[in-house]
Structure 1
Amino acid sequence: MPTLRELEEHKKIVPEIDPASVVAMLEIRQAGEQVAEQILDVLQRDYHLSEGKFCVLIVLHQHPEGIAPSQLAARVGVARATISTMLQRLEKSGDVVIEEDAEDRRGKRVRLTAKGRAFMAEVLPPHYLRVTKLMEKLTQEEQEELIRLLRKLAGE
């Protein structure tokens, strides 16, 4: 990672750059990689869960009554084609069921099966504990400020 001093030297060549901005972005990236290693890699290693599959399961866990595949795709932030493939795999493994929507017979609803709910009951508590332990490095005020700053950076 380039130092602030090295970036200041580079600014002599490209005056438009802001060395502090570059360092800040590199720090965000490095922190993200460390979080992924401490949180997401555990899910992959211990439960064979990709980040995307885990996000789908969390959204379904939050909607025990089921959710339309299009809404699920929007909440997870993936294309409908991607969610279709993921749901086919989750249905094949017995973690979800895809049913006709009782209110709109043309539509579908996806929900966790008993197996899927049991799996989430096993995975979520240690996951949330790992996240809590990681975030304990920051005070409550620092966490709130981090959330505010990250949302601002993301344009929300």
Structure 2
Amino acid sequence: MKRELIPSWEELEAHKKTVPEINPAAVIAMLEIKQASDEVQASILDVLQKEYHLSEGKFCLLIVLHQNPQGIAPSEIAAKIGVSKATISNMLIRMERDGLIVAKPSPDDARAKIICLTQKGQDFMSEILPPHYLRVTKLMERLSEAEQKELIHLLKKMSGRVHA
């Protein structure tokens, strides 16, 4: 989102005459959050794309598998990363072809399958995660540790994951 797309305080005050419930500070804060998120995400994803040929979806899928070493059902992966089952199916086919993942029978239901990282996939994650987390750390160094903790609290509060 370009900065020019964020309305001015004055513009929002003018709209408030039509809809009194408009809160200019809330609108500007939300748009600033969105803009900052887009900029941070783009800078991180650019590196993942250029250095490792990873799309955002593929990276998210690898993170989910890394966090679930025991394996996880494709439908659960789709739900966790917010894509359709068809999209996950296509991604899994490509990643299995690349040797990063393997589909195994589910221990609970032999008709179902779970997806796990292969050794190659685990090694790949061990290679890319430390520098990824370092890039994130460097980006967040613009804020003090206290500001980072407050930001975490405020974002959780805004999303309803923590109460006042």
TM-score by length of 1: 0.88
CA distance in 2, matches of 1:76, 1:6: 36
Matched, 1:78 2:122: no
Letter in 2 for 1:40: L
Name which of structure 1's ranges 42-51 and 9-18 shifts more when overlaid on structure 2.
9-18
> In the TM superposition, what is the alpha-carbon distance from 1:154 to its structure 2 partner?
2.1
Cross-structure match for 2:65: 60
Cross-structure match for 1:92: 97
Letter in 2 for 1:59: V
CA distance in 2, matches of 1:35, 1:125: 17
Q: Secondary structure at the match of 1:15?
A: coil
| Same amino acid, percent of matched pairs | 62
Cross-structure match for 1:12: 17
CA distance in 1, matches of 2:153, 2:91: 32
Name which of structure 1's ranges 9-18 and 29-38 shifts more when overlaid on structure 2.
9-18
Q: Secondary structure at the match of 1:97?
A: strand
Residues matched between the structures, number: 156
CA distance in 1, matches of 2:9, 2:142: 25
Q: Secondary structure at the match of 1:152?
A: helix
Letter in 2 for 1:102: P
Letter in 2 for 1:2: P
Cross-structure match for 2:30: 25
Q: Secondary structure at the match of 1:71?
A: helix
CA RMSD, aligned part only?
1.8
TM-score by length of 2: 0.84
1:10-45: CA deviations, max 9, x gaps? 323443321111111111111012111221221122
Matched, 1:140 2:106: no
> In the TM superposition, what is the alpha-carbon distance from 1:88 to its structure 2 partner?
1.3
1:93-141: CA deviations, max 9, x gaps? 2111111123421221111112212221221111000011111222223
- Structure 2: gaps spanning 5 or more residues: 1-5
Which fold has the larger relative contact order, with Cα–Cα distance below 8 Å and residues 6 or more apart in sequence? 1
- Structure 1: gaps spanning 5 or more residues: none
CA distance in 2, matches of 1:3, 1:142: 26
CA distance in 2, matches of 1:108, 1:136: 42
